[in-house]
Amino acid sequence: MEIDIEAAVNEILEAVDADREAVEKDLRKFLEYGVPLEHAKEAVINKYGSVVKEKKLKDVRVNERNMCVIAKVLAIDEREVEVRGERRKIYRGLLGDETAVLPFTAWKDFGLQKGDVIKIKNASSSEWEGQPRLSLSEWSEVEKVDYDIDLVKRPPQKYNLIDLRPGLSNVEVRGKILSIEERVVNIGGEERKVFSGIMGDETAKIRFTAWHDFGLKEGDVLKIKGGYIRKWRGAPQLIFDENAEVEKLDEEIIMEERIVPLYKIVEAGGGIELNIQGVILDVRKDSGIIFRCPKCNRRIRNGVCEEDGEVDGVPDLRIRALLDDGTGAVDVIFNREISERLLGKSMEEYLKIAKEAMDYGIVYEEIFDKLAAKPVRVKGDSMPSDFIITIFASDAQTVDIDEKEEAEQILMQLEG
Ligand SMILES: [Zn+2]
């Protein structure tokens, strides 16, 4: 049987960092002595095994162990965290080499400084924001090397709009400008033109802001490289400036209404023009008949507005409900018109019921009985909220059982 020397040498070089010629010479020698191929390979690996092969950052995957990496510290900061009830310092930052830039966490003080080029032995990796993050632990060895390394600019990562979440940077997206408006803002005494609007692709819509005049127009389909994502008004926003690359594409994007699983919205921290569906698991206690100030529209309590003092309250009907689709949960707020439609009863009728019972609580109870466990489909935008993601409904309807099954199938497909 012919032995494929080249393949065996390649396998050895996968495992160890050594000179190809030397490896091939050693391997042939073992084979000439009649050592079986597998043993011969092992022997050569053992011979060079004390040298761990360096891994390039672009080849680092999630959950790898025992890696050797040479990289430059591009950024580092120190912070205190609590680990099992104990305060300890950790160091976080970015490491770069010729192939990529990755975030890292050091669980002990290796005395790292920005600009250091270091060789790390026994590094591991975990997942953070969908990409690998290097971890330097007690068991890692770090030594400074005395040369510099060239850095590549990390290539932008491609995302669908539905997957964008605050904190991402250097993203590449493709989308169609659905609306755009120009404003002039004053920054540090200097007037600057800002363009903002809404962009969409097949998966979602997102608000954007361009800090540079790229000559964008409504209807343009663009590829944007080098944008970043911030949270604004309770939803992710795509931002790009003169450092970004913007290319007009000669293609069309067809947007269809797709039901988005709630976990995607929870991960993104919100979204706009969302189509969602789930089951109402709770009706929040502040639902029902409320009274608003006729001057400022704020909700008032006991006839007093915190802004305008004693006023004649105007009744309103609204519902805040917890919607769950099995993948995640959000709060949804229904205004009077949508509430009346969902409940099949008008606010006037509820006011009458409440006055007869001399208790507004009765309205809450009826809403709870009518809506709890009901599947509903909702359109709307998320709004700023401190706790759970809250969606202000622009439309909503209850869903019958067949449609519910269909929606579950859509969900399963979306989850792959
Ligand atoms: Zn008021």
Domain locations in the chain as residue ranges: 5-48, 57-144, 157-248, 262-414
- The rounded Å distance from CA 302 to ligand 1 centre is 13
Percent of the chain with pLDDT over 90: 57
Q: In which band, very low, low, confident or very high, does the pLDDT at 394 lie, cut at 50, 70 and 90?
A: very high
Question: Can you read off the two tokens belonging to residue 23?
Answer: 């490896």
Evaluate whether 333 touches 395 at the Cβ level (below 8 Å): no
| pLDDT surpassing 80 at residue 416 | no
- The rounded Å distance from CA 312 to ligand 1 centre is 10
| pLDDT surpassing 60 at residue 1 | no
- The rounded Å distance from CA 304 to ligand 1 centre is 8
- The rounded Å distance from CA 383 to ligand 1 centre is 21
Q: What angle do CA 73, 75, 79 make, to 5 degrees?
A: 115
- The rounded Å distance from CA 315 to ligand 1 centre is 14
pLDDT on residue 50: 52
- The rounded Å distance from CA 52 to ligand 1 centre is 71
| pLDDT surpassing 60 at residue 331 | yes
- The rounded Å distance from CA 299 to ligand 1 centre is 8
In terms of pLDDT, which residue wins out, 84 or 321? 321
Q: What is the pLDDT of residues 219-259, one digit of tens each?
A: 999 999 988 888 888 899 999 988 789 999 999 999 888 89
| pLDDT surpassing 70 at residue 52 | no
| pLDDT surpassing 60 at residue 393 | yes
Sign of the dihedral defined by the CA atoms of residues 158, 159, 165, 171, in that order: positive
| pLDDT surpassing 60 at residue 51 | no
pLDDT on residue 152: 66
- The rounded Å distance from CA 27 to ligand 1 centre is 87
Q: Do domains 157-248 and 262-414 have the same CATH topology?
A: yes
- The rounded Å distance from CA 358 to ligand 1 centre is 25
- The rounded Å distance from CA 381 to ligand 1 centre is 25
- The rounded Å distance from CA 309 to ligand 1 centre is 7
Q: What is the pLDDT of residues 355-364, one digit of tens each?
A: 999 999 999 9
- The rounded Å distance from CA 235 to ligand 1 centre is 28
- The rounded Å distance from CA 300 to ligand 1 centre is 8
Average confidence (pLDDT) over 159-183? 92
Local structure of 388: helix, strand or coil: coil
Q: What is the pLDDT of residues 104-151, one digit of tens each?
A: 999 999 999 999 999 998 899 998 877 899 999 888 889 898 777 777
Averaged confidence pLDDT in the chain: 89
* CATH node for 262-414: 2.40.50.140
Average confidence (pLDDT) over 261-269? 94
Q: In which band, very low, low, confident or very high, does the pLDDT at 369 lie, cut at 50, 70 and 90?
A: very high
Question: Can you read off the two tokens belonging to residue 218?
Answer: 């409504």
Q: What is the pLDDT of residues 7-17, one digit of tens each?
A: 889 888 877 77
Assign domain 57-144 to its CATH architecture.
Answer: Beta Barrel (2.40)
- The rounded Å distance from CA 305 to ligand 1 centre is 5
Local structure of 368: helix, strand or coil: helix
Local structure of 53: helix, strand or coil: coil
pLDDT on residue 256: 86
Q: What is the pLDDT of residues 277-296, one digit of tens each?
A: 999 999 999 999 999 999 99
- The rounded Å distance from CA 293 to ligand 1 centre is 4
Task: Say how far apart CA 338 and CA 341 lie, in whole Å.
Answer: 5
Evaluate whether 79 touches 106 at the Cβ level (below 8 Å): no
| pLDDT surpassing 90 at residue 195 | yes
pLDDT on residue 49: 64
- The rounded Å distance from CA 291 to ligand 1 centre is 11
- The rounded Å distance from CA 317 to ligand 1 centre is 18
0.85 surpassed by pTM: no
- The rounded Å distance from CA 289 to ligand 1 centre is 17
pLDDT on residue 294: 94
Choose the CATH number for 157-248 among 2.40.50.140, 1.10.8.870, 3.10.20.440, 3.30.1330.10: 2.40.50.140
